[in-house]
Every structure is written in C-alpha cells, then in structure tokens.
A and B are shown apart, each in its own frame.
Chain A
Amino acid sequence: MKPKSIAIVGAAETTELGRIPNLSQIGLHADAALNAMKDAGIGPKDIDGIATAGETPVTIAHYLGITPKWVDGTAVGGCSFMIHVRHAAAALESGLCKTVLITHGESGRSGIARSRPAVSPGSLAGQFELPYGPMGPPTLFTIPVLRYMKTYGITEEHLATVAVVQREWAAKNPRATFRDPITVEDVLNSRMIAYPFRLLMCCLVTDGGGALILTTADRAKDFPTKPVYLVGTGESVETPMVSQMEDFTSSRAFRVAGAKAFEEAGITHKDVDHLMIYDAFAHLPIYGLEDLGFCEKGEAAAFIGERNTAPGGKLPLNTNGGGLSYMHSGMYGMYALQESVRQMRHTAPAQVPGAKLSVCHGVGGMFAASGTIIMTNEG
C-alpha cells in the first residue's frame, strides 16, 4: 500500500457498551454502522464495499440496505477488522470500489443471537486439543506463558502489572467498564481462572460494536471528519492450535504482520506516538511489544513495569483501558482501531498530546492470526 493514499473518514462504536439487552448481534453491527455513517455524513447508498466478521457480509449488507461491489468476509478472530482495513485499502487503491464500510458487533455478554463457531470433533483441534479439557481462550491463549516466564524469568507480579497499568488508562475513560484503581496485590488476590492467570489478568466479556468507513485520500477531503490516513498495514496467520505454535515465547503471526506494516510505512519505532496491542489477556502486550520490535526479547515486562506504557510514559499503550478494563466483546480488534482513530483525531478521553502516529496491532484466535495497522493524522 502507498502510504497516505487511503483514509478513515468514519469511525464509531455502538451508542452503548457493556450490557446491551435491547440489541441482538446484527443490531449491534447496525447501531455501530449507523453511527459511523452519521460521523462520515453519508448513507448506505454511498457505500459500495463491505467487510465484516462474526456475521457474513451478506447479512450485514442486506440488513443495512447496501449494494456492494466489493465484499470481504475474512473471519480469523479478533484481528479480522485490521485485516479488513488492509484489504479495503488494496481494493480502494486499485479502484474495485470507492467507499468501504467495516462492521463489528457482538453480544458477548448478553448472548443475543450470537454466532459462535463450534469446533468439530474431527478437526485437528477437535482431535488433538479439545479432548484434554480446554474451555475457550482462558485455557488456550494462556498455555504458552509458563514457558515464556521460565525462559525470561518474569513473574506473576509482572503479569499483574500489565492489568494495573491499563486500569490507570481506563480511569481516564468515562466509557470504560472498569475504572477504579487496582494494585498488583488486588490482581494476585483475584480468583484463579487458569494458573498462572487470575480473573483480573483476563479480559472483560461485554456487548458492543464498532464500524469504520474508508475511502481514497483524494475523496477524504470531502468528508466532514478529519481524515486519518493509513501509512502501513500487515497481516499473517500461523496455526489454529496454540499447542503447535513454532515458538511459545513469540508469535510468528505478530512478527510477520508487524514487520510488513513497519516496512510499508517506512517508519522507525521512535516515530510512534501511540500504540494499541490487543490485550485479551495480560501477556499479550508483553508478546506484542517484543514481536513488534519495541522491546528486546524478554524485556517487555520490565518496560511496562518501569511505566513506559503508563500515563505520562514515553510509549502510551492501550489508552482506552484495553480489553482488560475498557470492553471486550469477543473480537476486540475493532475497539483498538477505534481508539487509534480517536487518538489521531485528537478526540480520545485520554488523549496523547500532539500524537501524530499510531500503531494498532491485533490478534485473532489464540495467536492464530494477526493484523497491524499504522495510521497518522498528517496528510
């Protein structure tokens, strides 16, 4: 992708976040999409490209009254939306369509018409993981961590510190689900879920949605919002089974997606003003900081502990409070993108003063997939 050739001109979350008992899953998609269309000052007839995950693009296009000429249903978990942004950029750049809508909606807490793919007993995961008693992400996403902890000598206190620092960011955000300060002791005294992970090291489970509207940079000037330009994008996948990761201390998908995005953007790490790393669990920012190249291997936990990513630190990270404290519907990547857009528009509740460049990094499945989007407010 040519840097700054594509812009985000509409961005919004659902009107409510948290517990939304009056909307089903497609209703959450629609609420977010309508808010994003209002933000961009356009309607469904102005949209000719659609991408979504969780629901099919057919369902969402029909529900919203959109007739698309370009469709993307890439569904690889919570980073699907980063990958949609990347695919949309390529489609817009090559003229396949002019205005793309990307939607997410998930009734994660209320479970109203939520679609959850079941693992077939004959799939590889069904044969070689499921019989051993995993029950969703808290027992799978977390499996590599003891190996990381032994390799680099980090402790449960380090994991707890990730949650504590993100709560500091959440305290500044009126829309965050959890805003009360917590201590390392609070985290280490919270209920054990899957050793070494305690409740406060695990993400929330909430209802919500978000949507983005993208177009080419030359058309972006006609929209009422301040354009947020894409400067680099990356994507990759590794394995549907966490037990088969090449390296338990590093994600190949993270490394490939991140390196590609940085290469496209032509930036260095010290150019980055703001960073989002999808944090379904407390170890994700640690892996992300290292695999994206912000920290040397084994040094990210200390980097966080030294308050580099905290309010006032040199690398503000997960400034909405993250999946640990802001919200997490199941596929959180859309909310990370929304916060990067807010930071680039200078409208974030915990605004990083003067931020010009934001890196937004997502994970899908249990280290199965990854997408990285780098954006700027400088045209």
Chain B
Amino acid sequence: MPEGQRARPQPTPETMHFWEGTKAGELRLQRCNACRKVYFPPRPFCPHCASREVSVFRASGKARLYSYVIHHRPVPGFTPPYAIAVVELDEGPRLMTNIVDCPQTPEALVLDMPVEVAFEKMDDEITLPLFRPAKR
C-alpha cells in the first residue's frame, strides 16, 4: 500500500455537480445551450461564447489515452512508478487522471488506446474519475 493519501480535491459551488456525479457513478460534463459546445473544467457559463445558459449531462465515460508521464519518485498516495495521464473524452474535453488495471509501463500505456472511466471512492464525499483500458 502506498504511504499517505493523495491530494484531496475540494469541491466548490461551481463544480459540485461534477463531484456529485462521480459519487453517483456518472461522469458529468457541461454543454452550452447557445453554441452547443461541450467544455471542461466545470463553470456556470460557456468559455466559448460566454452564455450562462448551460446544461449538465452525463458523458459516455469513453476516452482515449492522449498523453502521460510515468513518475518515478514517491508522492503521498502513490507507489512509483505510476502514470499521470491525460485522456481525451469521446465528447471532446481532455482531463487529467490515472490509468488503473494496467501496467504502468510505456509498453502497456499506448497512446490512443481506448479507455473507460473507473470510479474510485476516496471518502464519503469524493470519488475520483480514473480510467482503465476499455473492455473489448
């Protein structure tokens, strides 16, 4: 088991829907009602057209591995080496995450491989959206 605990996110009023979503097993994104663009990270307005008319929707949870590094030094909550990854969601936005159920090696972590969200409960309030190789 790794020592310590990973950094804990602190939800804010503008991001609460995201963290309530992960707790409920949903990856929630936002879409602008005016220009229809999907965006991340959460905010109560559209970063493309500044409209405040935006909706929250459940994303597919499907993504591809976009880029990463494999960190070789210890960090609380992690056992090195471990990958810090960015995935590109099918809906467009990219987000930082970790890749689980997969060796943390360049050979196993192939760019553009399909991945899917895997929720990991941190405590009663916070569940993190991690990703694992997609089931064929």
Contact = CB atoms under 8 A, between A and B. Distances in A.
Given A139-B69, A139-B71, A133 B77 contact: yes
Given A133-B71, A144-B67, A195 B81 contact: yes
A128 B41 contact: yes
Nearest to B19: A127
Given A130-B7, A243-B95, A143 B86 contact: yes
20 contacts: A120-B10, A122-B11, A127-B12, A130-B9, A131-B7, A131-B8, A131-B122, A132-B128, A133-B98, A134-B71, A134-B75, A142-B69, A143-B67, A145-B69, A146-B67, A191-B72, A192-B72, A196-B69, A241-B96, A244-B94
Point out which of A132, A133, A194, A196 has the most chain B C-beta atoms below 10 A from its C-beta. Answer: A132
A127 B95 CA distance: 11
Contacts of B72: 191-195
Nearest to B110: A150
Given A133-B84, A143-B84, 12 more contacts: A120-B10, A127-B9, A127-B41, A132-B6, A134-B96, A139-B69, A145-B69, A193-B71, A194-B84, A196-B69, A244-B40, A248-B67
Contacts of A128: 9, 41, 95-96
A169 interface: no
Interface in A343-370: none
Interface in A110-138: 120-122, 124, 126-135, 138
Contacts of B73: 135, 193-194
A197 interface: yes
A150 B66 CA distance: 10
B85 to A, nearest CB: 8
The bracket for how many chain B residues form the interface is 35 or more
A142 B83 CA distance: 12
Contacts of B86: 143, 243, 248
A286 B7 CA distance: 32
A248 B88 CA distance: 12
A129 B69 contact: no
A147 B111 contact: yes
The bracket for how many chain A residues form the interface is 20 to 34
B134 interface: no
Nearest first, the 6 closest Cβ-Cβ pairs linking A and B are: A195-B70, A122-B10, A127-B9, A147-B67, A121-B10, A194-B69
A133 B8 contact: no
A248 B111 CA distance: 13
Nearest to B78: A133
Interface string A205-236: 00000000000000000000000000000000
B106 interface: yes
A126 B10 contact: yes
A150 B97 CA distance: 20
A242 to B, nearest CB: 8
B42 to A, nearest CB: 9
Contacts of B10: 120-122, 126-127
A127 B18 CA distance: 10
Contact of A124 (B41, B71, B128): B41
A150 B110 CA distance: 10
B11 A194 contact: no
A159 to B, nearest CB: 13
B58 to A, nearest CB: 18
A284 to B, nearest CB: 15
Interface string A174-208: 00000000000000000111111100000000000
B13 to A, nearest CB: 10
A121 B9 contact: yes
B68 interface: yes
A127 B78 CA distance: 17
A134 B41 contact: no
Contact of B9 (A126, A135, A138, A145): A126
B15 interface: yes
B36 to A, nearest CB: 19
B69 A122 contact: no
B15 A139 contact: no
Contacts of A144: 67
A248 B9 CA distance: 25
A374 to B, nearest CB: 32
Contacts of B128: 131-132
A132 B84 contact: yes
A74 B133 CA distance: 43
Contacts of A126: 7, 9-10
A197 to B, nearest CB: 7
B69 A133 contact: no
Contacts of A133: 6-7, 71, 75, 77-78, 82, 84, 98
